[in-house]
């Protein structure tokens, strides 16, 4: 097995490891990891790896290799069962879900249904079910729509949809606008898209994107924001009641926003940390304190409110149109191998990612360039 190991204290330090695959135990399946996406969201997984537990899902020590300081960055993608000792999961089954960066992976399917299963590996049993679930792609026709874009946008848009719903459920906290930092990030774009749709039914408020000067034209071109402001011009924002959704995780930027808006910050949440080397979050003396928005917990709450079918229906009403719209501004390259993966990974760590382009990767032989 080939896999990518990351130094948990220094994301820039990576190692490519070759690990002999173990024979399957009864009840296990082995999957070939066909294609996966790497985005700024995956950098966030590492930054919050210990706080939220992302390092635990694919902890190399739990699989019998690696060092204590090493972890495996989780990604979203497609995989196909190539070997099975689980009678209810056949060879050839394609699934979508949370995966390590590797060419293959072993899963112990539990809670098996026609729609998918969960990984019952001992070290994952207590972890969040959203990240332990694997969906059979043939059970959900939406996976056939713009399939190459799915690993890039699907997990991010789930968060976007939930942020929009949460803010709306709180009557926009009485704000007259929402400000999204790192406005070119895919999660921010999805959130802005959902928020913009509320203008049609009269429940929407102004949506402002904060971004770099280099990304301003692109962000404006999507049409999702009412206004786009560069980071340099953040102090020009009017002092009116404001919700801040922070995707950047840049403490210095958030401090500037709090200094400018003060008590007018009526709600502020941290969603990502694309600026992973940025300053720590501020502790404002005025305005709502910055809180972490953990999408999986809110998703569980909404599934309880709406039921699984109701949740899927509401999500699909936003997801499918957004998927088609995104195909107009984002291009996806064919699955590439380790060398291309490392280039993209370093670009993300150093803030050089092009928001209009994305790539899928595989460590299987077809993409090991």
pLDDT tens digit sequence for 177-186: 999 999 998 9
**Residue 77: beta bridge partners?**
36, 97
Separation in Å, CA 188 to CA 156, 178, 234, 265, 337: 9, 11, 17, 19, 28
6 and 138 in a single domain? The answer is yes
With CA atoms as reference, report the closest residue to 246 among 256, 236, 232: 256
Q: Is the pLDDT of residue 197 over 60?
A: yes
Q: Which residues span the domain enclosing 254?
A: 155-296
Given a contact cutoff of 8 angstroms between Cβ atoms, the answer to whether 48 and 74 are in contact is no
Q: Residue 275's pLDDT is what?
A: 47
| Paired tokens of 270 | 């941290």
Separation in Å, CA 359 to CA 71, 149, 152, 334: 23, 9, 8, 7
* Residue 298 pLDDT level (bands cut at 50, 70, 90): very high
7 and 137 in a single domain? The answer is yes
Tell me the pTM.
0.84
Please state the rounded mean pLDDT for residues 169-180: 96
Q: Is residue 302 part of a domain?
A: no
Q: Is residue 321 part of a domain?
A: no
CATH number of the domain encompassing residue 54:
3.90.180.10
State the burial class of residue 20 (Cβ atoms within 10 Å of its Cβ: 0-12, 13-18, 19+). Answer: exposed
- Helix H, strand E, coil C: the string for 273-304 is CCCCCCCCCCCCCCCCCEEECCHHHHHHHHHH
* Residue 279 pLDDT level (bands cut at 50, 70, 90): low
136 and 159 in a single domain? The answer is no
First to last CA, the chain: 17
Please state the rounded mean pLDDT for residues 38-53: 78
**Residue 267: beta bridge partners?**
243
220 and 263 in a single domain? The answer is yes
22 and 120 in a single domain? The answer is yes
Number of domains in the chain: 2
């Amino acid at each position: 097995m080939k896999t990518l190991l990351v130094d948990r204290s220094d994301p820039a330090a990576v190692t490519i490891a070759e690990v002999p695959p173990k024979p399957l135990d009864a009840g296990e399946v082995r999957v070939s990891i066909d294609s996966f996406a790497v985005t700024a969201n995956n950098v966030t997984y590492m930054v919050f790896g210990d706080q939220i537990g992302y390092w635990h899902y694919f902890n190399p020590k739990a699989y019998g290799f690696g060092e204590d300081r090493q972890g495996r960055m989780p990604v979203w993608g497609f995989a196909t069962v190539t070997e099975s000792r689980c009678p209810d999961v056949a060879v050839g089954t394609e699934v979508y879900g949370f995966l390590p960066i590797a060419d293959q992976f072993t899963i112990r399917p539990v809670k098996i249904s026609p729609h998918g299963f969960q990984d019952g590996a001992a070290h994952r049993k207590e972890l969040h079910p959203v990240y332990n679930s694997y969906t059979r792609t043939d059970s959900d026709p939406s996976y056939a729509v713009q399939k190459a874009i799915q690993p890039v946008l699907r997990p991010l848009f789930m968060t976007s949809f939930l942020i929009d719903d949460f803010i709306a459920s709180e009557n926009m906290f009485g704000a007259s606008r929402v400000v999204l930092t790192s406005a070119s990030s895919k999660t921010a774009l999805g959130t802005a898209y959902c928020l913009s749709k509320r203008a049609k039914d009269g429940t929407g408020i102004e949506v402002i994107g904060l971004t770099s000067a280099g990304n301003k034209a692109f962000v404006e071109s999507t049409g999702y924001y009412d206004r786009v402001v560069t980071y340099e011009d953040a102090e020009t924002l009017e002092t009116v009641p404001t919700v801040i959704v922070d995707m950047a995780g840049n403490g210095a930027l958030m401090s500037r926003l709090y200094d400018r808006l003060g008590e007018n910050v009526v709600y502020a949440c941290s969603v990502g940390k694309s600026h992973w080397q940025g300053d720590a979050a501020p502790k404002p003396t005025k305005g709502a304190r910055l809180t972490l928005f953990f999408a999986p917990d809110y998703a569980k709450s909404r599934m309880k409110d709406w039921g699984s079918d109701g949740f899927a229906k509401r999500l699909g009403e936003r997801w499918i149109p957004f998927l088609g719209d995104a195909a107009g501004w984002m291009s996806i390259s064919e699955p590439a191998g380790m060398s291309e993966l490392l280039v993209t990974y370093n670009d993300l760590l150093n803030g050089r990612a092009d928001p209009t382009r994305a790539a899928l990767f595989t460590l299987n032989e077809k993409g090991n360039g």
